[in-house]
Structure 1
Amino acid sequence: MEFQQTGELEEDVWFDDVDPMLLEPSNNLKQRKLSVALVDEEGTDGLTKHVAVDCEMVGVGYKGQESILARVSIVNEFGKCVYDKYVKPREKVTDYRTDVSGIKAHHIQSEAVLRKLLALAMRDIQGQMPISRTFQYLKKEIYFSMTFKEFKDAYEPCKKQVEGIFLLGPLMDKVTDFRRWEEFQDVQREVADIFKDRIIVGHALSNDLKVLFLGHPRRKVRDTSDYKPFRRLNKGSKPSLKKLAQVILNKTIQAGQHDSIEDACVAMKLYMLNRKEWERSNKSKGVLKQTKYFCTNDSKSIKDEKRRKIKIFKIRNLQKKRR
């Protein structure tokens, strides 16, 4: 960064509680004129020594303020996806955060829940709007693999009511993606097996490990939000993954809904492009000899989770008594 000299000396600007190293200009980061490819098609499709992870969360509790895992994606060193699964919610989802997470009800809810959701939606809008608007309304909420004509043909038999619930068989047969989700415990175990003895890469990994309830040795964690040369690009504070992708890779991401696979690929590409300098700095600081965990299963997040479940249990009991 070059400064123009003026006749007067400008007053120094001081930053409290900021590492001076973060304020130094970063000379080893080169901005690409052309967008960098995130996936190396010639690379292997299997697991590698380094893997990058990114998770999508949905909101639970009051106004969806607390987060639980909804999707986890893992890519290898070549940017190829080796793991991508939706997770069944363990609590009632109050905010899917679709605008950011890209998660909709059909991704993580069971077929029975979706049948009821679809039935209620049809009952509410029957007779109030034309079938074309009904089709658009439902297609926005739940993924359909059918055309409007197919929907219209399947919709007619569903107008019969049995105790207020529509006969949805012909229509529900056309709805896809019901069984893509899996139980949290299964996903957690599979992800832990992948992480074992590997270096994990990601952006703000503490958030991902927190919702996964997993820990990992700090010496085997490469977090792009903590890497000092990257933080220098944001005046010492943690940069967003979107900014790093734009400045370093000349690539635009997260323009709308987030894609966990794409985010993981970006984090991996950022690491691989700066791998030598990154590992050299870790070695000089003694990071590779650290035995502490980046996140542990007996951390504060676990205790908070237990307190929240106890609180929910007490509220439900109180509601039952009032009834």
Structure 2
Amino acid sequence: MGRVEVAANAKTTISLPQPVPSHRDMMRGNVTVKEPCVLLENPSGDHFVEELRHMVMGNHVLSESQKLPGQYLAIDCEMVGVGPQGSESALARVSIVNYHGHIILDTFVQPREPVTDYRTWISGVRAQDLITGRDFADVGKEVAELLEGKVLVGHAIENDLKALMLAHPGPLTRDTQAYKGLREKLNNKRPGLAKASQQLLGIQIQTGAHSSVIDARVTMAIYRLFKKEWEKSVWHLTEAYRNKHKGAQPEAAPAEEEGSAEENSTSAPELFPSSSSHTNPKTNGQRTGKKKSKQQEFPGGGRKGISSGLSVIVRRGGKRVGGTGRGDGSRRMDRDRGAEAGRTSSGGRGGNWWESA
């Protein structure tokens, strides 16, 4: 696996250009490969974007808690060709990074069929890489265990999951290529990862052979750029899924000083308070000074003056009106029921792909 060379001024990161191998060597995977990655100027000058750029390059220091898998994982896979003229794709490398870009898994995989095209100029996979590759079934099992209950981030993620022969719950999946905010930002219905990386992060990737580690980090960085608004839009679906499948509950957040509180936070965004919380979102849980009166309970349930299915009780000035409870208030209640019924009836009611991904 190649390495990234960092220039002395720390503003530009360059992988040296490689000599163009013959088509025969590329098919056989007999080429030398580096992971080309160029760090351009920060397109926004924003400090957060600069932090994400360092995360992608892997030149930042992480605490021990930031190296744990956490709640969010990004995945990217590299494929090789099998079958006649390499027309079918098979998994050859899988990389998974956490919220902070730390590598959780990076391994080569032995395809279950003979490789007919290593696609090294794209995949970065060479013949010698697969000699010590792991068994497909073992890798699939490990990946499935890692992803259990996690929010999975990927770019055109259906290709990666298909290669692994795995599925992941929709409410826990974040596909950056399909995210509306990114498509609108780049004015593209199917934005490529390389274009998104250059325009949003100022990082050129995939200028030669791909690196699944770099691609996974870029995908996580793009997700983090849109995370706040994205999670607001899907929070209810995610929490509904977690509540239905208790085993998918997120892990407890580490101490905030370790820098992982944001990553592991499972509370709703400010505009989406948790359904289990009774605090006022406008006051952030502080007392407003107004003492809330305790609701009085009545036999058989229900509230004062409202039908509980047994009888209608209407009171005026603390005294019951009429022996059957049908006084002046009954007409008002009938009118309210009719209006409610009207509302209910009228408004009752979610080229090749491996080269362009």
- Which TM-score bucket, shorter chain as reference? 0.5 to 0.7
Aligned partner of 2:125 in structure 1 is 103
Aligned partner of 2:93 in structure 1 is 71
Shift of 1:41: 2.0
- Inter-partner Cα distance in structure 2 for 1:287 and 1:105: 41
Aligned partner of 2:44 in structure 1 is 32
Shift of 1:287: 6.1
- Inter-partner Cα distance in structure 1 for 2:44 and 2:211: 22
Shift of 1:45: 1.8
Aligned partner of 1:151 in structure 2 is none
Aligned partner of 2:210 in structure 1 is 258
Partner AA of 1:37 in structure 2:
H
Contact 1:218 1:290 in 2 (8 A): no
Counterpart among 104, 112, 121 of residue 90 in structure 1: 112
Contact 1:52 1:74 in 2 (8 A): yes
Question: Structure 2 stretches of 5 or more lacking a match?
Answer: 1-41, 243-357
Q: 1:288 to 1:241 in 2, by over 3 A?
A: farther
- Inter-partner Cα distance in structure 1 for 2:203 and 2:94: 22
Partner AA of 1:47 in structure 2:
P
Partner AA of 2:161 in structure 1:
L
Aligned partner of 1:320 in structure 2 is none
Counterpart among 189, 208, 218 of residue 170 in structure 2: 218
- Inter-partner Cα distance in structure 1 for 2:238 and 2:149: 16
1:288-299 matches, within 5 Å, as: 289=240
Shift of 1:31: 4.4
Question: Structure 1 stretches of 5 or more lacking a match?
Answer: 1-29, 110-178, 292-323
1:186 and 2:138 matched: yes
Per the alignment, in what secondary structure is the counterpart of residue 73 of structure 1? strand
1:23-62 matches, within 5 Å, as: 31-33=43-45, 36-38=53-55, 39=58, 40-43=60-63, 44-62=66-84
- Inter-partner Cα distance in structure 2 for 1:87 and 1:99: 18
Per the alignment, in what secondary structure is the counterpart of residue 89 of structure 2? strand
1:269 and 2:286 matched: no
More helix by share: 1
Bigger relative CO (Cα 8 Å, ≥ 6 apart): 1
Shift of 1:89: 1.4
Q: 1:76 to 1:287 in 2, by over 3 A?
A: closer
Shift of 1:288: 5.3
1:219-238 matches, within 5 Å, as: 219-238=171-190
Question: How does the TM-score come out when normalised to structure 2?
Answer: 0.51
Shift of 1:290: 6.2
* CA RMSD, Structure 1 to Structure 2 (Å): 2.1
Identity of aligned residues (%): 42
Question: How does the TM-score come out when normalised to structure 1?
Answer: 0.56
After superposition, give the CA deviation of every residue in 1:202-237 in whole Å (9 maximum; x if it has no partner): 111100000100011000001110111111134341
Larger Rg: 2
Contact 2:172 2:238 in 1 (8 A): no
Per the alignment, in what secondary structure is the counterpart of residue 233 of structure 2? helix
- Inter-partner Cα distance in structure 2 for 1:203 and 1:89: 22
- Inter-partner Cα distance in structure 2 for 1:189 and 1:224: 25
Partner AA of 1:32 in structure 2:
S
Corresponding pairs, count: 192
- Inter-partner Cα distance in structure 2 for 1:195 and 1:66: 26
Aligned partner of 1:248 in structure 2 is 200
Per the alignment, in what secondary structure is the counterpart of residue 125 of structure 2? coil
Shift of 1:37: 1.5
Shift of 1:54: 0.3
Aligned partner of 1:23 in structure 2 is none
Contact 2:186 2:196 in 1 (8 A): no
Per the alignment, in what secondary structure is the counterpart of residue 274 of structure 1? helix
